[in-house]
Amino acid sequence: MKELNPTDPIGQNIIKLISNVCFSVFVFSVLLLTVIAITYQPPDPWESSRALTNVFTQVENATFKTDSSVLKTGEDIAFAPVASPVGSPLPITEASIDKSQERLEKNHVTLKSGCDDVNCSDPRVLIAIQRFNLRAFKAISFLDYQTPVNGSKPDECDVSWRFRNKKEKSWRKYRDFRRFKIGFKDDCTYKVVRPGRWHSGLNARRVRTRFNTTANGQNGKITPGVRDDEINDTIPVLGSDSAFKKRKYLYYSRGGDYCKGMNHFIWSFLCALGEAQYLNRTFVMDLSICLASTYTQSNKDEEGKDFRFYFDFEHLKEVSSIIEEGEFLKDWKRWDKSHKTKTPVKKVSSYKVTPMQLRKDKSTIIWRQFDLPEPENYWYRVCEGPAAKYIERPWQALWKSKRLMNIVSAISGSMDWDFDAVHVVRGEKAQNKALWPHLDSDTSREAIVAKLQGTIEPWRNLYVATNEPFYNYFDKLRSHYKVHLLDDYKYLWGNTSEWYNETSMLNGGRPVEFDGYMRVEVDTEVLYRSKTRVETFYNLTRDCKDGINTC
């Protein structure tokens, strides 16, 4: 048989054919990858994303009804690390402690003599405490310490420090102050004999006595407490007509989302904030929230709740261009009153006008009005359809309130950051045998004890995050574990607490209820900080989280 010669016409045609096929495959692959890159949208980082998608695509029932689920916000979601503020201290490590000790030895610092007297101002006392804390509290990063001061006894020292939890994605700092019993090693160097409990070092705390202006203008003294000086959730003010005119605004009128569940509110709010960022506009924000009846003691919707009770307004205004609605309306009215030319406003009456159509609009204010009947008047409808490819919800902008997170740190710190947790979902779901036929029996007292005994070691600190209203429901666990429930820590939001004082000041001097949604936020965050976590729908029951046939 004659071999093909590349110079022959047949051989040349075969080579050309193969080349054309390979080139076509290459072009098709590039085209396919391009289409995928353009059309792919990563899912929003919501824990129950399938349930959320199903609910929001059913327009006839378009209200997010999974408010009892564990809610994650920006500080819990693994985005790229948030840059810490300029000048923020680096975590203290064994290496940095070694350098401090070398520096002392080099400078021949000798403040201690003998093994009899504890001198809290001796830098070696602080070094001993730092080394102890690194070994004892591995869940947190220590950022800086204050100089130790004398405790109540000659061998006690009180010291304060700032820290971060390693599981939290934010750069927020928290404060603890503890009393340590100090002793000596055989070579007369200092050692920690025994650490105190959370916030036991009273002599090292920062006490602030603040004054509150009452409705009649008189100054009333607030209970002294440990003030968190790093919270700054004051309302920003533009201050001049020129500052008002320099910006462009996106203004959303109140829609059908008002008084819906908090998760519904978040889904809509982040849509609005995402559109403002897409349009490169300042978002006009209403700080007044209506809390749905699900979370109120009155079992009725309650208006007039402050956004700052639940979420971190300081962080939001640092990472987003926002203006408070009252300040905005005041500046707008002042401008129109003092100028012949009125502020250009484009009113948009339907969510079907897409953000892409508004991209080139030059009006100072784009005013979206949601006057249609439900569900046509939900904010999140703006981000549906083609807009979903362009609008990204800025989840990293929304963190939980620092005041609530201080309560989370207090609860976790009271267990020395060494605890396990079980999340027990009961409530209405346990009674709904049609959707959750096994939930009630699978979360019975006996069933929970049996399950946890095979998962968590005896006599560990066990935090129970739950919507079960009966406090003594978990008493059977107390024969096996050191059980902690949220209601064990009522003093953290009682009328002598810092949280009570600070929220009352935000609320014009009126006390603020520690409501059901705050309980969910705190329960959730303590749960996230546990070493071993047992979940209802993944560990305790065979039922699906969102009902039958949704696993």
The confidence score (pLDDT) of residue 203 equals 95
Closest to 206 (Cα-Cα) out of 156, 155, 146: 146
Confidence class for position 14, pLDDT limits 50, 70, 90: low
For residues 453 and 482, state if they share a domain: yes
Cβ count within 10 A of residue 244: 20
Which of helix, strand or coil describes residue 187?
coil
Cβ count within 10 A of residue 151: 24
d(CA 528, CA 76): 8
Please give the average per-residue pLDDT across 189-211, as a whole number.
83
For residues 375 and 280, state if they share a domain: yes
For residue 232, is pLDDT > 90? no
pTM of the model: 0.82
Whether 20 is in a domain gets the answer no
For residue 294, is pLDDT > 80? yes
Consecutive H or E run containing 157: strand 156-165
Confidence class for position 548, pLDDT limits 50, 70, 90: confident
Domains of the chain: total: 3
342, 368, 397: which is the final residue of a domain? 397
For residues 476 and 536, state if they share a domain: yes
d(CA 143, CA 97): 12
d(CA 494, CA 137): 28
Closest to 366 (Cα-Cα) out of 284, 469, 479, 452: 284
Confidence class for position 2, pLDDT limits 50, 70, 90: very low
CATH number of the domain enclosing 496:
3.40.50
For residues 180 and 323, state if they share a domain: no
Strand intervals (E) in 292-433: 302-306, 322-324, 345-348, 365-368, 420-424
Whether 35 is in a domain gets the answer no
d(CA 479, CA 459): 8
Which residues does 228 contact at the CB level (< 8 Å), separation at least 6?
A: 175, 402, 403, 406, 498, 502
397, 432, 463: which is the final residue of a domain? 397
For residues 332 and 424, state if they share a domain: no
The runs of H, that is alpha helices, within 3-122 are: 9-39, 49-57, 94-106
CA of residue 465 relative to chain centroid, distance: 17
Confidence class for position 27, pLDDT limits 50, 70, 90: low
For residue 363, is pLDDT > 50? yes
Whether 534 is in a domain gets the answer yes
Cβ count within 10 A of residue 172: 22
The confidence score (pLDDT) of residue 241 equals 74
For residues 286 and 344, state if they share a domain: yes
Nearest-5° angle of CA 205, CA 209, CA 213?
150
Output the average pLDDT for the chain: 85
For residues 176 and 194, state if they share a domain: yes
d(CA 187, CA 197): 28
Whether 343 is in a domain gets the answer yes
Q: Which residue has the higher pLDDT, 368 or 427?
A: 368
For residues 327 and 409, state if they share a domain: no
Over the stretch 36-52, which tens digit does the pLDDT of each residue have?
Answer: 444 433 333 333 333 44
Confidence class for position 484, pLDDT limits 50, 70, 90: very high
Whether 27 is in a domain gets the answer no
The runs of H, that is alpha helices, within 137-293 are: 241-246, 262-278
Look up the domain containing 143 and give its range.
Answer: 94-205
Please give the average per-residue pLDDT across 418-432, as a whole number.
93
Whether 344 is in a domain gets the answer yes
Whether 241 is in a domain gets the answer yes
361, 382, 397: which is the final residue of a domain? 397
Beta-bridge mates of residue 288: 306
For residues 243 and 391, state if they share a domain: yes
Main-chain dihedrals φ then ψ at residue 157, nearest 5 degrees: -130, 135
Whether 263 is in a domain gets the answer yes
Query: For 373, which DSSP code?
Result: P
Which residues does 74 contact at the CB level (< 8 Å), separation at least 6?
A: 169, 170, 315, 395, 396, 397, 398, 399
d(CA 25, CA 323): 53
> Which amino acid, 423?
H
Yes or no: say if 527 and 463 are a contact pair by the CB < 8 Å rule: yes
d(CA 191, CA 209): 35
For residues 249 and 280, state if they share a domain: yes
For residues 431 and 377, state if they share a domain: no
The confidence score (pLDDT) of residue 343 equals 93
Query: For 447, which DSSP code?
Result: H
Over the stretch 514-526, which tens digit does the pLDDT of each residue have?
Answer: 999 999 999 999 9
For residues 261 and 117, state if they share a domain: no
d(CA 172, CA 177): 17
Q: Look up residue 451 and give its two tokens.
A: 């399950």
The runs of H, that is alpha helices, within 369-437 are: 402-414, 427-431
